């Protein structure tokens, strides 16, 4: 789960990491007033769940409260399209108005889980303030990786080494080490999957400040962080994707017209690949999950049917932990609830397949059965 | 032959009285697996299906029944405890089906298990099966399998069944099938399973199924190149996945160039694997290679 920069910075402050003075603004008037409080000039930062805001025009420096009002008017209520969003972009409902920093050095710091190391790592680079993916691609040696032992945690010598790799002078080793230690504690205590700061700066006055803040919380750990669940902003999510999250269904909107209902992420990806190879264009990725009930399957099908792009539905269920009869009942239920008659191509195999097929056959729905994944892909293409 | 399971396997199911646990314990038993015990704390002394004793602790179950494999159907908040309890009781092979265990918990469990005489498969996996030994330890539909000489290894659950279904429909049986799990941290890697298949006299060919995200396929490719002695057919799915979007598995995140399908396929091809062109061609590709072997 992603959270906004201002929310991440509030967490930073609670853990003792310095952040610039700032205020959240919901209207141009609030932005103007906040700029006045910052001393008459400020940076206005669009609060959206996407990176690449700066290049997309979502971050602007203003030199007066009246300029702040004009700029805020241009940003608020509009959608921001960045290289990490789709063509529609994401709505800007909030601005973070921050005081300008006096930057002496910029660095990049991130904490994440590395599956090859099978543990937590801290990434550090002295090249902060620029596109870190470009740095990683062009000069991988400029990014240093410190691997953390989960029982020891971050050791002081590692923090000292990171301070050097971040490019700070020895006189700043202590405050930098404290900041890294605080961020590591924040990462562990809140079950994050990513904490990223670009840039982490030293000011001319010798303070270490997080100018930016990105936190992603691990979805599988949210059950033990009720307070963090509150930070979710559904306006930043695709409407259908947000509905799916609420139902614990993995769903991603795509551009095509074939709605896909599949069980298992691997089979769902394989189904998309096979459909595309046959010339069809999937409207979504959907993994209904293992222990689904017929109600949950029905909700998944209703999400598919709610997408106006969808002209036909491809079902690929390999019954294992999810039984085919449950899947079939869910499909019939959803078609009834939605009063839908979009054609279905159904490929079912595995546990209780005969019951599943019988339920669909007796339902009167416009079902074409396919025996294999390639037959299903061909049938869906033929129906166009 | 086949790997990890045989006629000496004595299965213990943790969470046997739950909805998933009871359904799949029955299905494993019906396939022929020697189900000797169940564990549900607080329900010790009961009998599952009038014949299988239920214990409060894994240690007690092992002591009373000689169980040597634990299959876990415990909800995510309690699954790390269940894994460590089995390891502590000396169970040498632990299979964790549970999906959704917090990754920071798994990092600690993984560290605890290292250098101990125990293998964990999963979590978030379908388990494993050895059709020749009539032994199934997992949630896969047993009926689609057929005894034979092809080893299957995959990160996915249902896509493994798809692979097996295609093989069986062409009359190609399997020596074993192992799903290693889709999470970022898994107890057993592709390389661990490939090494077992390499040493297994009952396996002639391996079908390898990877997916986008992470670098596990590249690590496997490096191992294959180093000297894996058997032919291997490989498929990597997720070509149609949009960059930067999470596709259900925590591991299935496009993290960079190396996480993409093309990069993984290239590494596997370079290592000498025969690339399966599309998910519909798993069986046909294996069949063609087997014909050449004869």
Full DSSP string of A336-350: HHHT----EEEEEEE
Torsional class of A80: left (φ above 0), alpha (ψ -120 to 50), beta (otherwise): beta
pLDDT of residue A178 exceeding 60, the answer is yes
What's the pTM?
0.93
Residue B243: predicted pLDDT = 54
Residue B246: predicted pLDDT = 42
Does the beta-carbon distance from B239 to A287 stay under 8 Å? Answer: no
Does the beta-carbon distance from B158 to A262 stay under 8 Å? Answer: yes
Mean pLDDT of chain A: 93
b or e along B36-69 (b: 16 or more beta carbons within 10 Å of the residue's beta carbon)? Answer: bbbbbbeeeeeebeeebbbbeebbebbeebebbb
Residues of A in contact with B180 (CB under 8 A): none
Residue B254: predicted pLDDT = 34
Residues of A in contact with B245 (CB under 8 A): 252, 285
Residue A283: predicted pLDDT = 95
Kindly report the nearest CA distance between residue A122 and chain B, in angstroms: 15
Peptide bond into B154 cis (omega under 30): no
pLDDT tens across the length of chain B (294 residues):
899 999 999 999 999 999 889 999 999 999 999 999 999 999 999 999 989 999 999 999 999 999 999 999 999 999 999 999 999 999 999 999 999 999 999 999 999 999 899 999 999 999 999 999 999 999 999 999 999 999 999 998 889 999 999 999 999 999 999 999 988 899 999 999 999 999 999 999 999 999 988 889 999 999 999 989 999 999 999 887 765 444 333 233 335 566 788 889 999 999 999 999 999 999 999 999 999 987
Does the beta-carbon distance from A266 to B102 stay under 8 Å? Answer: no
Residues of B in contact with A374 (CB under 8 A): 278, 280
Residue B242: predicted pLDDT = 62
Does the beta-carbon distance from A265 to B211 stay under 8 Å? Answer: yes
Of the residues A119, A188, A266, A293, the best mutation for testing chain B's interface (the one with the most B CB atoms within 10 Å of its CB) is A266
Q: Report d(CA A73, CA A309) in Å as an integer.
A: 33
State the catalytic residue, choosing from B216, B249, B260, B264: B249
Q: A192 to chain B: nearest residue by CA?
A: B104
Question: Between A220, A265, A319, which is nearest B102 by CB?
Answer: A220
State the catalytic residue, choosing from A196, A251, A302, A335: A196
Question: Between A120, A265, A277, which is nearest B249 by CB?
Answer: A265
Does the beta-carbon distance from A115 to B214 stay under 8 Å? Answer: yes
Residue entry with tokens 């290049």: A55
Interface predicted TM-score of the whole assembly (ipTM), two decimals: 0.90
Residues of A in contact with B97 (CB under 8 A): 321
Residue B112: predicted pLDDT = 96
Size of interface A-B (CB pairs under 8 A): 178
Of the candidates A116, A245, A288, A219, the one whose C-alpha atom is nearest the C-alpha of residue B100 is: A219
Kindly report the nearest CA distance between residue B42 and chain A, in angstroms: 24
A321 contacts chain B (CB < 8 A): yes
Are B118 and B14 a contacting pair, CB within 8 Å?
no
Longest dimension (CA), chain B: 56
Q: Report d(CA A64, CA A49) in Å as an integer.
A: 27
Q: Report d(CA A42, CA A64) in Å as an integer.
A: 8
Question: Between A221, A264, A276, which is nearest B159 by CB?
Answer: A264
B249 assigned to active site:
yes
Residue B255: predicted pLDDT = 53
pLDDT of residue A328 exceeding 90, the answer is yes
Question: Between B108, B158, B244, which is nearest A263 by CB?
Answer: B158
Are A17 and A179 a contacting pair, CB within 8 Å?
yes
- Quickly state the pLDDT bin for A133 (edges 50, 70, 90): confident
Are A326 and A293 a contacting pair, CB within 8 Å?
yes
A151 contacts chain B (CB < 8 A): yes
b or e along A69-89 (b: 16 or more beta carbons within 10 Å of the residue's beta carbon)? Answer: bebbeebbeeebbbeebeeeb
Tens-digit pLDDT profile for residues A253-300? 888 999 999 998 899 999 999 999 999 999 999 999 877 899 999 999
Q: Which residues have CB under 8 Å from A10's CB, separation 6+?
A: none
């Amino acid at each position: 789960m992603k959270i906004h920069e201002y929310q991440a910075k509030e967490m930073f402050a609670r853990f003792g990491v310095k952040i610039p003075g700032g205020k959240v603004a919901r209207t141009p008037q609030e932005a103007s007033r906040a700029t006045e409080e910052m001393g008459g000039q400020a940076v206005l930062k669009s609060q959206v769940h996407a990176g690449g805001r700066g290049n997309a025009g979502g971050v602007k420096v203003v030199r007066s409260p009246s300029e702040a009002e004009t700029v805020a008017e241009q940003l608020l209520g509009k959608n921001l399209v960045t290289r990490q969003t789709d063509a529609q972009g994401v709505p800007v409902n909030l601005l973070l108005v921050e005081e300008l920093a006096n930057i002496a050095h910029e660095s990049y710091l991130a904490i994440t889980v590395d599956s090859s190391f099978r543990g937590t790592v801290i990434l550090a680079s002295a090249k902060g303030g620029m596109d870190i993916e470009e740095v990683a691609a062009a000069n991988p040696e400029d990014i240093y990786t410190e691997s953390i032992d989960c029982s020891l945690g971050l050791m002081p010598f590692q923090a000292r080494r990171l301070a050097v790799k971040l490019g700070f002078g020895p006189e700043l080793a202590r405050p930098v080490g404290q900041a890294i230690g605080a961020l590591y504690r924040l990462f562990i205590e809140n079950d994050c999957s990513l904490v990223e700061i670009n840039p982490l700066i030293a000011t001319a006055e010798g303070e270490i400040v997080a100018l930016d803040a990105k936190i992603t919380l691990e979805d599988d750990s949210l059950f033990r962080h009720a307070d963090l669940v509150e930070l979710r902003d559904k306006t930043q999510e695709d409407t259908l994707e947000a509905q799916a999250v609420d139902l614990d269904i993995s769903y991603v909107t795509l551009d095509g017209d074939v709605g896909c209902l599949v069980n298992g992420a691997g089979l769902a990806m394989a189904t998309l690949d096979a459909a595309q190879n046959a010339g069809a264009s999937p409207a979504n990725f959907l993994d209904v999950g293992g222990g689904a009930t017929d109600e949950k399957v029905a909700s998944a099908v209703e999400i598919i049917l709610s997408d106006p792009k969808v002209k036909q539905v491809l079902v690929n269920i390999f019954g294992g932990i999810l039984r085919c009869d449950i899947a079939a009942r869910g499909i019939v239920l959803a078609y009834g609830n939605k009063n839908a008659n979009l054609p279905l191509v159904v490929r079912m195999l595995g546990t209780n397949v005969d019951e599943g097929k019988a339920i669909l056959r007796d339902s009167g729905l416009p079902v074409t059965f396919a025996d294999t994944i390639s037959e299903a892909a061909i049938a869906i293409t033929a129906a166009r | 032959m086949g790997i990890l399971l045989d006629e000496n396997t004595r299965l213990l199911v943790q969470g046997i009285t739950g909805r998933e646990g009871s359904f799949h314990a029955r299905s494993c038993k019906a396939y022929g697996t020697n189900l000797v015990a169940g564990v549900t704390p607080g329900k010790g002394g009961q009998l599952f299906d009038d014949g299988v004793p239920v214990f409060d602790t894994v240690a007690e179950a092992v002591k009373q029944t000689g169980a040597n494999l634990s299959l876990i159907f415990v909800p995510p908040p309690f699954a790390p405890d269940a894994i460590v309890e089995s390891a502590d009781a000396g169970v040498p092979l632990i299979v964790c089906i549970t999906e959704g265990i917090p990754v920071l918990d798994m990092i600690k469990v993984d560290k605890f298990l290292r250098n101990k005489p125990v293998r964990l498969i999963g979590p978030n996996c379908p388990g494993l099966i050895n059709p020749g030994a009539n032994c199934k330890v997992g949630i896969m539909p047993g009926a689609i399998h057929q005894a034979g000489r092809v080893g299957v290894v995959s990160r996915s659950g249902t896509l493994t069944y798809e692979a097996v279904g295609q093989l069986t429909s062409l009359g190609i049986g399997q020596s074993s099938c192992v799903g290693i799990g889709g999470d970022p941290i898994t107890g057993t890697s592709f390389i661990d399973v490939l090494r077992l298949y390499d040493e297994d006299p009952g396996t002639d060919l391996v079908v390898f199924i990877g997916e986008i995200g992470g670098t596990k396929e590249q690590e496997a490719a490096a191992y294959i190149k180093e000297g894996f002695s058997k032919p291997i057919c490989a498929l990597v799915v997720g070509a149609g996945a949009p960059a930067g979007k999470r596709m259900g598995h925590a591991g299935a995140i496009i993290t960079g160039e190396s996480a993409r399908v093309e990069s993984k396929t290239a590494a596997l091809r370079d290592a000498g694997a025969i690339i399966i062109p599309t998910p519909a061609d798993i069986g046909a590709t294996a069949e063609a290679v087997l014909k050449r072997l004869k």
